[in-house]
């Protein structure tokens, strides 16, 4: 079973979004969550730190700078999908 640690940078980023009132109260996550191609496009113009900031957890035992390392996406990343 996978084990996770809290991504402190992701939690800080999420709190900043909440403080800025940059959130949606009612959405269908199945419709708005970023796809693998959305994430790849985001990573094409952003750093791994930027990508990681959208995740609340880190998967223990995985390499840094891989999608498997970041867990529990908290939002659709700015610029990640057209609807964001």
Give me the domain span that covers residue 8: 4-73
Which residues of the chain carry a pLDDT beneath 50?
Answer: 81-84
The Cα 47–Cα 34 span in angstroms is 17
Closest CA to 71 of 54, 50, 46, 48: 54
The whole-chain average pLDDT of the chain stands at 87
Q: Is residue 18 part of a domain?
A: yes
pLDDT for res 34: 84
Assigned token pair, 59? 């998967």
Q: What is the CA radius of gyration of the chain?
A: 13
State the total domains in the chain.
1
Q: Is residue 39 part of a domain?
A: yes
Q: Is residue 33 part of a domain?
A: yes
Assigned token pair, 33? 């969550």
Q: Is residue 78 part of a domain?
A: no
Buried b / exposed e over 6-19, threshold 16 CB at 10 Å, is ebeebeebbeebee
């Amino acid at each position: 079973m996978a084990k996770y640690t809290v991504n402190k940078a992701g939690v800080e980023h999420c709190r900043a979004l909440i403080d800025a009132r940059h959130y949606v109260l009612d959405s269908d996550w199945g419709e708005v969550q970023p796809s693998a191609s959305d994430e790849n496009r985001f990573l094409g113009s952003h750093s791994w730190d930027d990508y990681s900031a959208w995740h609340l957890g880190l998967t223990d035992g995985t390499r840094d700078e891989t999608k498997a390392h970041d867990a529990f996406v908290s939002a659709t990343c700015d610029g990640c999908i057209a609807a964001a």
